[in-house]
Chain A
Amino acid sequence: MMNVAVMKTKFEQSLTEQFNHVSARLPGGAAVGVARTAALGRFSALGLPNRRIEEWKYTDLRNALKEPLAVAVDDDTKVTVADLIVALGPLAHLEGPRIVFVNGGWRRELSNLEGAEGIEVAALGATLTAAQDKIGEALAGTTGPDNDAVLALNTAYMTDGAVVRVGDGIEVGKPLLLVFMRAGSEGRFVATRNVVSIGKGAAATIVEAFIGLPGSTAEGQHNSATEIHVGDNARVTHVKIAADTGKATHLSNWMVGLGAEAVYRGFQLNQGLGLARNQIFATYHGEGAKLDLSGLFLGRGAEHIDTTLVVDHAVPRCESRELYKGVLDGEARGIFQGKVIVRPDAQKTDGKQMAQVLMLSPDAEFDSKPELEIYADDVVCGHGSTAAELDTDLLFYLRARGIPLDTARSMLIESFVGEALDRIEHEGVREVVLDFARGWLSKLGR
């Protein structure tokens, strides 16, 4: 094949060029600066991922994201507490401490960390500016893949995010809410990074919410990354609620490291996103750990929602469960890629994966690609994938009992997605996720 120099798109060009203008205003000391420059170099060399790269064949970012975007730095879009409450929707009722970022910048006046007992929360930008190069080094040595252009862009441009630490043996009852709000009249490129560390034997629930301020532009791109280290015997519930108005781009990386006997439950809700790519890279560092990844993606119109998981069983006796449910209407497209690697030493690995989609329209599309790479011989691994329409017999049964068509459809869809929602252990968080999903369902066929 001929080696052709690829022309940069306007987006790639603008993201490469803006670095020189804004780098002085990005937080962090020398080590972070070096990491940023190196990451920008990787992005420039790689460009956005395109369909010729196997992992990205269903989600060609290079083709989808051509328009230039201004990088958000020191954003000062006015947002009041009342605005925040409106934007939070069902999340406004979730009890617990919250830290709020608007267009990638921490807003002290909107945050409320009272009652955050046993959990240390700080803004990443401020922490980096205070020259905590310890975090800087941790960022530089990030656990994600080094050939991922989306993650490279994050490292180059991250402005803020949450630094969360739970000490050994501390059990935090109330969920910690990290809010990332999109606001203003102009679409921006926003990059945020969270660094979470859960001590040995500790327990916590962390919720990330990506929402838009009603009345703001629907455009914009959020590039988010969360690194989470779960200590030995710790238990973590980690939930993402990405619920927007149908145009914004959401690119997300979770890098999860599990200690021995740790239990990590991750859940991701995607709805109202124009284009979403949710990557999770999970690695076991100690034996006997349990990983449970689940999610719900709701798509309509021309929305495109991609979930790509890489679960690396590097050590023996670990368990992984993945259960994803999708509901696709209109011409929406859903993608599920689940790679499970079982290394030669990872005997007694127990892995199960399932992705199920409900197709509400003949023009919707679902692509599913499970990948099991098994190098050990004493393992139990399975995967499955289904795409189905609503059961007309069940619809008739409900309607014969007087239940109107819309309600009957909603009941059946809710029952379909319920199994995934049940994976969220925290009841309050589960109710919030259900409320968001119901809001989406209530607009079906309208």
Chain B
Amino acid sequence: MLEIKNLHVKLADEDKAIIKGLTLTVPKGEVHAIMGPNGSGKSTLAYVLAGRADYEVTDGDIIWNGESIIEMEPDERAAKGVFLAFQYPMEIPGVAGLTFLRTATNSVRKKRGQTELTTPEFLKVVKDRASKLNIDFDMLKRPVNVGFSGGEKKRSEILQMAMLEPSLCVLDETDSGLDIDALKVVSDGVNALRSPDRAMLVITHYQRLLNHIVPDKVHVLAEGRIQKTGGKELALELEQSGYAEFQGKAA
């Protein structure tokens, strides 16, 4: 279970608070959506969960499986099962996709006390999972994300997620830059990973992703805190009414 308690976050080198008292619980087996206007703190929340150093937690806590993670390094969190699918996956020139995937997969397996995959084992798994995401295997021989289209980058993120077998998946604007077909492939990939052992937090600005990845709960994030929580129908309401009613409130 993910428990975010009264979380306050600011940029590490600025005093401006971005998240101001956010409280949220996501039990295992559930998918929760976070929706909100631009600048509400959605991406900040995603980065803080993954442990990006540019942000500083000034108050509150993040508990994952009963353990506070806010002091943990990003790789330590990944080993504990936290995975962030980036809104803008980065290009890594000179590092082949397969090398990257294998190093990442075996790093977390090692830390989780699992045996590392041998090259044939790894290749078998990666081929299988890549084909389910319509990823051409040859693409993985190329440097990570270099020259990939928006859709290819997002599918590559979901493949990484499938390989690392996380227990907490955070998807940051995974629908941005996707056409309808790509959206379906990516959503199917995510849905295939839904399981009773896994919690998911889907961050999105638009409702359309939630037609494909149907959430158990929807939270509205604005002004750095959760303003409203509801079922999947809340997403449809927001599509009609917009976020205006949650903005401009006194903090």
Q: Which residues of A contact B (CB under 8 A)?
A: 392-394, 396-405, 407-408, 411-412, 414-416, 418-419
Residue in contact with A403 in the complex, picked from B77, B86, B93, B107, CB distance below 8 Å:
B107
Interchain CB contact under 8 A, A394 and B107: no
Q: State A401–B145 Cα separation when bound (angstroms).
A: 14
Contact for A400 among B74, B93, B103, CB less than 8 A: B74
Q: A411 to B95, Cβ gap below 8 A? A: yes
User: Binary interface profile of B, 89-126, with partner A (CB < 8 Å = 1, else 0)?
Assistant: 11011110001100110011001000000000000000
Apart from A400-B74, A411-B95, A414-B95: 6 A-B pairs, beta carbons within 8 A = A394-B92, A401-B107, A402-B78, A405-B75, A411-B100, A414-B94
Contact indicator B75/A399 (Cβ below 8 Å): yes
The stretch from B31-39, B50-58, B210-218, B242-250 touching chain A is B50-58
Which partner residue on chain A sits nearest B74 by CB separation? A399
Given the complex of chains A and B, what is the CA–CA distance between A397 and B78 in angstroms?
11
Which of A396, A401, A405, A419 touches B104 (beta carbons < 8 Å)?
A401
B103 touches A407 (CB 8 A): yes
Distance A415 CA – B142 CA, assembled complex (angstroms): 13
User: Is B160 positioned at the interface, with any CB of A under 8 Å from its CB?
Assistant: yes
CB-based contact B90/A404 at 8 Å = no
Q: Which residues of B contact A412 (CB under 8 A)?
A: 92, 95
Residues of A within 8 A of B202 (CB): none
Contacts of A415 in B (CB 8 A): 92-95, 143
- A402, A407, A415 pick with most chain B CB within 10 angstroms: A402
Bound-complex Cα distance A408 to B77 (A):
15
- Residues from chain A with Cβ under 8 Å of B95 in the complex: 411-412, 414-415
Give Cα distance in the complex from A89 to B52, angstroms. 39
The distance from the CB of B113 to the nearest CB of chain A, in whole angstroms, is 14
Residue of B nearest to A408 (CB): B75
Identify which of A397, A399, A407, A414 contacts B73 (C-beta below 8 A): A399
Pairwise interchain contact B94-A418, C-beta atoms closer than 8 A: yes
User: In the complex the two chains form, what is the Cα distance from A203 to B187 in whole Å?
Assistant: 55
Nearest CB on B from A409, distance (A): 12
- Bound together, the chains give a CA A405 to CA B92 distance in angstroms of 16
Q: Does B200 contact A (CB under 8 A)?
A: no
In the complex, chain B residues whose CB is within 8 Å of the CB of A402:
75, 78-79, 104, 107-108, 111, 164
Contacting pair B53 A401 (CB below 8 A): no
Which residue on chain A has the smallest CB distance to residue B77?
Answer: A400
Cβ contacts under 8 Å, A411 to chain B: 95, 99-100, 103
For residue B84, CB closer than 8 A to chain A, the reply is yes
Q: Given A414-B94, A418-B94, answer yes or no on A399-B103 (Cβ-Cβ < 8 Å).
A: no
| CA–CA, A393 and B90, complex, Å | 8
Alpha-carbon distance between A276 and B84 when the two chains are bound, in angstroms: 45
- In the bound complex, do residue B90 and residue A407 qualify as a contact, i.e. CB atoms below 8 Å apart? no
Residues from chain B with a CB closer than 8 A to the CB of A396 are: 50, 52-53, 74
5 cross-chain pairs, A with B, having the tightest CB-CB distances, nearest first: A415-B94, A402-B78, A402-B108, A401-B104, A399-B74
